[in-house]
Chain A
Amino acid sequence: DTAVSQTPKYLVTQMGNDKSIKCEQNLGHDTMYWYKQDSKKFLKIMFSYNNKELIINETVPNRFSPKSPDKAHLNLHINSLELGDSAVYFCASSQEVATSGGQETQYFGPGTRLLVL
């Protein structure tokens, strides 16, 4: 069974369009994340949700809006897509631990390859 799944795997769209990427985890984790991997393979966090509540919001344009209908799902909606949004977007999840002493490994989805033309 897939632990963290994302749809779609590939997304090709025109500049100015609005698109969504869906993420689901069946690990029972409390925390979910969105990361962006650019063309140079650099990975950076965008958002984090814990039990449906936004806890991390890095410097991301407000065209990007995450939505968490429940703690197993974290979707990413992108308005007015731009060429620079082309990247691979990864969803991840972890079991949140109140202290910093635990491992709290993040498990990643397969990624969504977004190409904006």
Chain B
Amino acid sequence: AQKITQTQPGMFVQEKEAVTLDCTYDTSDQSYGLFWYKQPSSGEMIFLIYQGSYDEQNATEGRYSLNFQKARKSANLVISASQLGDSAMYFCAMREVLMDSSYKLIFGSGTRLLVRP
């Protein structure tokens, strides 16, 4: 069965510094997708970034980048130049494709990031 592991329940980072949130995954599929979502204290789930298993380049979206290491089965999120508004829960998720080609997301347990001024 597919599994996502986030080993950091909580992290602190100083404003304007970079921070890496860890995510490892387990799958026997050759084709898969990895996602990061942000959940601020207001509760909504915000899509941040996506990495496909066949993508040769690491994904980037503004201050977010994904450090994808396929052999290690890791997909760490890097946030550069942290801002106070980055304080939130961050979830790593993997797409599990089902028999009928539909799919569902498997989520990790999340990392709570607190940005210090």
Is B45 among interface residues, defined by CB-CB distance under 8 A? yes
Residues of chain A at interface, number, CB under 8 A? 30
Decide if A55 touches B102 in the complex (CB within 8 Å): yes
Interface string of A87-99 (1 = CB under 8 A from B): 0101010001011
**In contact, B35 and A105 (Cβ under 8 angstroms):** yes
Q: How far is the CB of A112 from chain B (nearest CB, A)?
A: 10
A77 within 8 Å of B (CB atoms)? no
Of B15-23, B65-73, B76-84, B90-98, which stretch is located at the interface?
Answer: B90-98
Tally of chain B residues near chain A (CB < 8 A): 29
Whether A48 contacts B97 in the complex (CB less than 8 A), given A41-B89, A88-B43, A100-B32, comes out as: no
A62 at the interface (CB under 8 A from B): no
A100 and B104 in contact (CB under 8 A), knowing A41-B109, A110-B44?
A: no
B-side residues, CB < 8 A to A, are: 29, 31-33, 35, 37, 39, 43-47, 50, 52, 54, 89, 91, 95, 97-98, 100-105, 107, 109-110
Q: Which residues on A are within 8 Å of B, measured CB to CB?
A: 31, 33, 40-45, 48, 50, 55-56, 88, 90, 92, 96, 98-101, 103-111, 113
